[in-house]
Amino acid sequence: MTKLFVMPVALLLMLAAPLCAQTEMPLYPGNIPNATGAEDQEANKDNVVRNVSKPTLTAFLPPAGTAKGPAVIVCPGGGYGVLVIEREGYRVAKELNKQGIAAFVLKYRLPSDRTMKDKALGPLQDAQQAIKTVREKASEWNIDPAKIGIMGFSAGGHLASTAGTHYDSSFIDNPQKTSLRPDFMILVYPVISFEGKIGHKGSATNLLGASASVERAHYFSNEKQVTASTPPAYLTHAGDDATVPVSNSLRFYEALQAKGIAADMHIYSQGQHGYPKTPSFDEWFGRCLHWMRTTGFLPGN
């Protein structure tokens, strides 16, 4: 009798416990919008995820008593073909936690005609849903709802900048009219444009298809979508990036400047795509933190 009683009580205590420091949850509480219902074929090899059709949000919350209020939704890169989930997701989230910043790694859907009715909209829907979720649960997670940013690497930087420039068009159910605007963007060697020769052709083809219209390529070229209400941004890139030309960051910075949007940018002469050797993580990440402090998104130490 004792064992039969103790086990259900233990289970109830687990269910009633607050969100743990690292918790993965389905991104959508119900049906996934824009989904075809195709079989899930997700695979993870060496912390690189493929064929994502069921998006999730993994919450990394700072230890009790250390939270400073801001939150960052992290979008790993991978050319819209894979997600470099550990290096450009979980590792970054843990480092954000050390600074008292709540982090949420977005495992967004990878564009596929098999799993989505309109593959170009799936990642943006997931980014909007992530912002909506974090903002609506801000009090529960000890987050300042006015300091929710989005961070992206490479193609994840394209997704983050898309969320920051297309927030006034809602592609998800939003009955509470929750703001889908990120309060700031951190863009690390980002893909920005799909026009001309500066963009990453693989990302463009994966997201839009091989024969995308000029209008659609323009719509997802985010340097063309900046307005006076676009969130402030921090950009970092390497001048010798042969995969995603530094022109992507330069053009976005110029577009932000033209609209009077506060923006910082740091260009390294060497670093290549992905910063495999230089700059060090502490170097470029430290500059991001400095920008967050100077803009007031991260309280000083």
Question: What's residue 199's pLDDT?
Answer: 82
Going residue by residue through the chain, which has 301 residues, state the pLDDT in tens, using 9 for 90 and above.
Answer: 444 434 444 433 333 344 546 899 999 999 999 999 999 999 999 999 999 999 999 999 999 899 999 999 999 999 999 999 999 999 999 999 999 999 999 999 999 999 999 999 999 999 999 999 999 999 999 999 999 999 999 999 999 999 999 999 999 999 999 999 999 999 999 999 998 888 889 999 999 999 999 999 999 999 999 999 999 999 999 999 999 999 999 999 999 999 999 999 999 999 999 999 999 999 999 999 999 999 999 997 5
CA distance between the termini of the chain: 53
- CA atoms within 13 Å, Cβ hemisphere of 157: 26
Q: From CA 182, how far away is CA 179, in angstroms rounded?
A: 8
Which class is 50-294 in CATH?
Answer: alpha beta
Could you tell me the pTM of the whole model? Answer: 0.93
Q: From CA 142, how far away is CA 114, in angstroms rounded?
A: 38
